[in-house]
A and B are shown apart, each in its own frame.
Chain A
Amino acid sequence: NAGVMQNPRHLVRRRGQEARLRCSPMKGHSHVYWYRQLPEEGLKFMVYLQKENIIDESGMPKERFSAEFPKEGPSILRIQQVVRGDSAAYFCASSPSEGTYEQYFGPGTRLTVT
Protein backbone atom coordinates (compact mmCIF):
# COMPACT_ATOMS: atom_id res chain seq x y z
CA ASN A 1 0.00 0.00 0.00
CA ALA A 2 2.04 2.91 -1.30
CA GLY A 3 1.96 6.07 0.75
CA VAL A 4 1.87 9.64 -0.46
CA MET A 5 4.54 10.16 -3.06
CA GLN A 6 6.26 13.39 -3.92
CA ASN A 7 8.81 14.17 -6.56
CA PRO A 8 11.35 15.39 -6.95
CA ARG A 9 12.70 15.02 -3.42
CA HIS A 10 15.22 17.78 -4.01
CA LEU A 11 14.96 20.57 -6.54
CA VAL A 12 17.43 23.34 -7.27
CA ARG A 13 16.35 26.33 -9.30
CA ARG A 14 17.96 29.65 -10.17
CA ARG A 15 16.12 32.85 -9.43
CA GLY A 16 13.52 33.52 -12.10
CA GLN A 17 13.03 29.89 -13.12
CA GLU A 18 9.90 27.84 -12.60
CA ALA A 19 9.52 25.05 -10.05
CA ARG A 20 7.02 22.21 -10.44
CA LEU A 21 6.36 19.96 -7.49
CA ARG A 22 4.32 16.79 -7.85
CA CYS A 23 2.25 14.87 -5.35
CA SER A 24 0.50 11.54 -5.83
CA PRO A 25 -1.94 10.89 -2.97
CA MET A 26 -2.45 7.55 -1.33
CA LYS A 27 -4.62 5.14 -3.28
CA GLY A 28 -8.27 5.93 -2.68
CA HIS A 29 -7.58 9.44 -1.40
CA SER A 30 -9.24 12.29 -3.23
CA HIS A 31 -8.22 15.20 -0.99
CA VAL A 32 -4.80 16.82 -1.23
CA TYR A 33 -3.23 19.52 0.95
CA TRP A 34 0.00 21.43 0.34
CA TYR A 35 2.10 22.88 3.15
CA ARG A 36 5.32 24.88 3.24
CA GLN A 37 7.89 24.56 5.99
CA LEU A 38 10.71 27.02 6.46
CA PRO A 39 13.75 26.02 8.54
CA GLU A 40 13.00 25.98 12.26
CA GLU A 41 9.33 26.78 11.61
CA GLY A 42 6.07 24.88 11.64
CA LEU A 43 4.03 23.76 8.67
CA LYS A 44 2.07 26.52 6.96
CA PHE A 45 -1.05 25.57 5.05
CA MET A 46 -1.06 26.67 1.43
CA VAL A 47 -3.91 25.05 -0.48
CA TYR A 48 -6.52 22.29 -0.27
CA LEU A 49 -7.71 20.56 -3.42
CA GLN A 50 -10.06 17.83 -4.50
CA LYS A 51 -10.04 16.33 -7.95
CA GLU A 52 -10.38 19.21 -10.46
CA ASN A 53 -11.34 21.68 -7.70
CA ILE A 54 -9.53 24.13 -5.47
CA ILE A 55 -11.40 24.12 -2.17
CA ASP A 56 -9.29 26.51 -0.09
CA GLU A 57 -6.29 28.50 -1.29
CA SER A 58 -6.22 30.99 1.55
CA GLY A 59 -2.60 30.15 2.39
CA MET A 60 -1.29 30.53 -1.11
CA PRO A 61 0.61 33.71 -2.10
CA LYS A 62 -1.48 35.66 -4.59
CA GLU A 63 1.25 35.87 -7.20
CA ARG A 64 3.55 33.30 -8.80
CA PHE A 65 1.99 30.29 -7.00
CA SER A 66 -0.66 28.00 -8.43
CA ALA A 67 -1.90 24.48 -7.76
CA GLU A 68 -3.98 21.92 -9.56
CA PHE A 69 -5.26 18.39 -9.03
CA PRO A 70 -6.45 17.11 -12.41
CA LYS A 71 -8.83 14.25 -12.95
CA GLU A 72 -5.90 12.07 -14.01
CA GLY A 73 -2.40 12.34 -12.66
CA PRO A 74 -0.73 13.91 -9.65
CA SER A 75 -1.42 17.20 -7.96
CA ILE A 76 1.04 19.88 -9.01
CA LEU A 77 2.24 22.93 -7.12
CA ARG A 78 3.77 25.42 -9.50
CA ILE A 79 5.97 28.34 -8.53
CA GLN A 80 6.84 30.79 -11.27
CA GLN A 81 9.82 33.14 -11.26
CA VAL A 82 11.21 31.69 -8.05
CA VAL A 83 13.00 33.92 -5.55
CA ARG A 84 15.38 32.98 -2.72
CA GLY A 85 12.57 33.30 -0.19
CA ASP A 86 10.79 30.37 -1.85
CA SER A 87 13.50 28.02 -0.60
CA ALA A 88 11.72 25.66 1.78
CA ALA A 89 10.41 22.16 2.21
CA TYR A 90 7.05 21.64 0.53
CA PHE A 91 4.93 18.83 1.93
CA CYS A 92 1.85 17.29 0.44
CA ALA A 93 -0.72 15.39 2.51
CA SER A 94 -3.77 13.42 1.49
CA SER A 95 -6.93 12.11 3.10
CA PRO A 96 -9.79 9.98 1.83
CA SER A 97 -12.42 12.59 2.59
CA GLU A 98 -12.83 15.92 4.30
CA GLY A 99 -14.46 14.37 7.31
CA THR A 100 -11.59 11.98 7.90
CA TYR A 101 -9.39 13.38 10.57
CA GLU A 102 -6.04 11.98 9.60
CA GLN A 103 -3.85 13.46 6.90
CA TYR A 104 -1.01 11.34 5.59
CA PHE A 105 2.12 13.24 4.61
CA GLY A 106 4.50 12.65 1.77
CA PRO A 107 8.29 12.87 2.17
CA GLY A 108 8.42 16.43 0.92
CA THR A 109 10.26 18.31 -1.80
CA ARG A 110 13.15 20.46 -0.69
CA LEU A 111 13.39 23.45 -2.97
CA THR A 112 16.59 25.47 -3.06
CA VAL A 113 16.70 28.70 -5.03
CA THR A 114 20.20 29.89 -5.88
Chain B
Amino acid sequence: GQNIDQPTEMTATEGAIVQINCTYQTSGFNGLFWYQQHAGEAPTFLSYNVLDGLEEKGRFSSFLSRSKGYSYLLLKELQMKDSASYLCAVRSLEYGNKLVFGAGTILRVKS
Protein backbone atom coordinates (compact mmCIF):
# COMPACT_ATOMS: atom_id res chain seq x y z
CA GLY B 1 0.00 0.00 0.00
CA GLN B 2 0.93 3.62 -0.17
CA ASN B 3 3.71 4.21 2.42
CA ILE B 4 2.48 1.42 4.65
CA ASP B 5 5.22 -1.02 5.54
CA GLN B 6 5.12 -4.29 7.40
CA PRO B 7 7.41 -7.31 7.34
CA THR B 8 6.68 -9.84 4.64
CA GLU B 9 6.94 -12.96 6.78
CA MET B 10 7.47 -14.00 10.38
CA THR B 11 7.80 -17.34 12.11
CA ALA B 12 7.08 -18.02 15.77
CA THR B 13 6.60 -20.99 18.06
CA GLU B 14 3.33 -22.20 19.51
CA GLY B 15 2.76 -20.70 22.96
CA ALA B 16 5.11 -17.79 22.35
CA ILE B 17 4.46 -14.07 21.84
CA VAL B 18 4.94 -12.32 18.51
CA GLN B 19 4.87 -8.65 17.58
CA ILE B 20 4.03 -7.56 14.03
CA ASN B 21 5.04 -3.99 13.24
CA CYS B 22 3.50 -1.54 10.83
CA THR B 23 4.79 1.89 9.88
CA TYR B 24 2.96 4.46 7.83
CA GLN B 25 3.29 7.94 6.43
CA THR B 26 0.22 10.01 5.79
CA SER B 27 -1.36 13.37 6.54
CA GLY B 28 -4.76 13.65 8.20
CA PHE B 29 -4.46 10.28 9.95
CA ASN B 30 -7.86 8.97 10.98
CA GLY B 31 -7.37 5.43 12.26
CA LEU B 32 -5.35 2.25 11.93
CA PHE B 33 -6.83 -1.21 11.58
CA TRP B 34 -5.55 -4.74 11.85
CA TYR B 35 -7.21 -7.59 9.97
CA GLN B 36 -6.47 -11.31 9.95
CA GLN B 37 -6.75 -13.25 6.72
CA HIS B 38 -6.43 -17.01 6.44
CA ALA B 39 -5.43 -18.34 3.04
CA GLY B 40 -8.34 -18.26 0.63
CA GLU B 41 -10.66 -16.56 3.08
CA ALA B 42 -12.00 -13.09 3.78
CA PRO B 43 -10.17 -10.65 6.05
CA THR B 44 -11.65 -10.47 9.54
CA PHE B 45 -11.42 -7.40 11.75
CA LEU B 46 -9.07 -7.63 14.73
CA SER B 47 -8.54 -4.14 16.12
CA TYR B 48 -8.82 -0.42 15.61
CA ASN B 49 -6.66 2.38 17.03
CA VAL B 50 -7.17 6.08 16.53
CA LEU B 51 -5.60 7.41 19.76
CA ASP B 52 -2.12 6.66 21.08
CA GLY B 53 -1.79 3.68 23.34
CA LEU B 54 -2.56 0.03 23.70
CA GLU B 55 -5.89 -1.65 22.97
CA GLU B 56 -6.21 -5.14 24.42
CA LYS B 57 -8.65 -7.75 23.29
CA GLY B 58 -8.02 -11.21 24.65
CA ARG B 59 -4.81 -12.70 23.25
CA PHE B 60 -4.49 -9.84 20.76
CA SER B 61 -3.35 -6.29 21.52
CA SER B 62 -2.67 -3.38 19.21
CA PHE B 63 -0.54 -0.33 19.89
CA LEU B 64 -0.42 3.03 18.15
CA SER B 65 1.98 5.97 18.21
CA ARG B 66 0.70 8.70 15.91
CA SER B 67 3.79 10.88 16.29
CA LYS B 68 5.99 8.02 15.11
CA GLY B 69 3.61 6.68 12.47
CA TYR B 70 3.92 3.29 14.08
CA SER B 71 1.69 0.48 15.21
CA TYR B 72 2.16 -3.09 16.28
CA LEU B 73 -0.07 -6.09 16.72
CA LEU B 74 0.86 -8.33 19.64
CA LEU B 75 -0.27 -11.93 19.69
CA LYS B 76 0.15 -13.86 22.94
CA GLU B 77 -0.03 -17.59 23.65
CA LEU B 78 0.29 -18.37 19.98
CA GLN B 79 -1.80 -21.20 18.58
CA MET B 80 -1.38 -23.05 15.32
CA LYS B 81 -4.63 -21.52 14.07
CA ASP B 82 -3.00 -18.08 14.31
CA SER B 83 -1.01 -18.94 11.18
CA ALA B 84 -2.40 -16.39 8.73
CA SER B 85 -1.68 -13.12 7.00
CA TYR B 86 -2.04 -10.00 9.15
CA LEU B 87 -3.00 -6.84 7.32
CA CYS B 88 -2.37 -3.34 8.56
CA ALA B 89 -4.67 -0.67 7.09
CA VAL B 90 -4.71 3.09 7.49
CA ARG B 91 -7.53 5.56 7.03
CA SER B 92 -6.71 9.22 6.50
CA LEU B 93 -8.01 12.39 4.95
CA GLU B 94 -5.17 12.11 2.41
CA TYR B 95 -6.74 8.85 1.21
CA GLY B 96 -10.23 10.26 1.16
CA ASN B 97 -11.06 8.34 4.31
CA LYS B 98 -10.96 4.97 2.58
CA LEU B 99 -8.84 2.13 3.92
CA VAL B 100 -5.39 1.67 2.41
CA PHE B 101 -3.85 -1.71 3.18
CA GLY B 102 -0.27 -2.78 3.58
CA ALA B 103 0.89 -5.89 1.75
CA GLY B 104 0.37 -8.04 4.85
CA THR B 105 2.63 -10.10 7.08
CA ILE B 106 2.45 -13.87 6.73
CA LEU B 107 2.79 -15.41 10.18
CA ARG B 108 3.78 -19.06 10.45
CA VAL B 109 3.31 -20.71 13.81
CA LYS B 110 5.36 -23.86 14.31
CA SER B 111 4.99 -26.48 17.01
Contacts and interface: CB of A to CB of B under 8 A. Distances in A.
Interface of A: 4, 33, 35, 41-45, 48, 56, 58-59, 91, 98, 101-108
B25 interface: no
Contacts, number: 51
Interface size class of B (residues with CB under 8 A): 20 to 34
Interface of B: 1, 31, 33, 35, 41-45, 48, 50, 87, 89, 91, 96-104
By secondary structure, the A interface counts as loop
Given A102-B45, A106-B42, A43 B31 contact: no
The residue in A41, A48, A105 that gathers the most chain B C-beta atoms within 10 A of its C-beta is: A105
Contacts of A105: 35, 42-44
Contact of A56 (B42, B44, B96, B104): B96
A43 B87 CA distance: 9
B42 A45 contact: no
Contacts of B48: 101-102
A58 B96 contact: yes
Nearest to B100: A45
Contacts of A91: 42-43
A108 B96 contact: no
